[in-house]
Amino acid sequence: MDFQVKGTLVWYYYICKREVWLMAHQLTPDQDDENVKIGKIIGESAYSRDKKEIDLGNAKIDLIRTEDGQLVVGEVKKSSRFIESASKQLLFYLLQLKEMGIEAKGELMIPEERYTCEVELNEKSEAEIRATIKHIEQIVQETRPPGAVKNKYCRSCAYNEFCWA
């Protein structure tokens, strides 16, 4: 299987390892799920002054702008409920840019809550993201998905029926 870790998989990694495997094997979540639809609408309508969705191959950056001569990469989410996983996804994007020779700072943005926080790639976070990438690669190489593990996110997950039906 020709595979490359993408930002979305990093996001899922911090929520559910099973989702990582399912997404990597093109078993996509229910696209009619209300949460999926809301996320797409927020991503399309928020922050209209910034350049939207930059595709770097394995990274789709939600928005990008310059601020005081510094490149700012933004990740837009519908809620702060997934703030840890969203921050890790943004760190992954910052690492991808760094490997291309582009220095940038990150901003996690939650328009519905009018919340923004800076995310900085440093030695510690870079080492964590590199370890995460390796673990994602290991998960994806398995012939079967990890077992379903109930967590606080299962109820609103677009894979809910797949895991618990």
For the chain, the average pLDDT equals 84
Identify the CA nearest to 125 among candidates 93, 153, 163, 161.
93
d(CA 13, CA 104): 23
pLDDT, tens digit, 9 for 90 and up, residues 103-134: 999 999 998 899 999 999 999 999 999 999 99
Paired with 115 in beta bridges are: 110
Structure token digits, residue 115: 């919340």
Domains of the chain: 7-164 (3.90.320.10)
pLDDT, tens digit, 9 for 90 and up, residues 80-107: 888 999 999 999 999 999 999 999 999 9
Structure token digits, residue 112: 């519905």
Query: What DSSP string describes 85-104?
Result: HHHHHHHHHHHHHHHTT---
pLDDT > 90: percent of the chain: 50
From residue 141, give the alpha-carbon distance in Å to each of 1, 20, 69, 131, 165. Answer: 8, 11, 41, 16, 25
Does residue 26 contact residue 9 with C-beta atoms inside 8 Å?
Answer: no
3-state SS assignment for residue 27: coil
* Identity at 38, one-letter amino acid code: I
| Residue-level pLDDT at 79 | 86
CB count, 10 Å around CB of 62?
Answer: 25
Could you tell me the pLDDT band of residue 37, with boundaries at 50, 70 and 90? low
Asked whether the whole model's pTM tops 0.75, one would answer yes
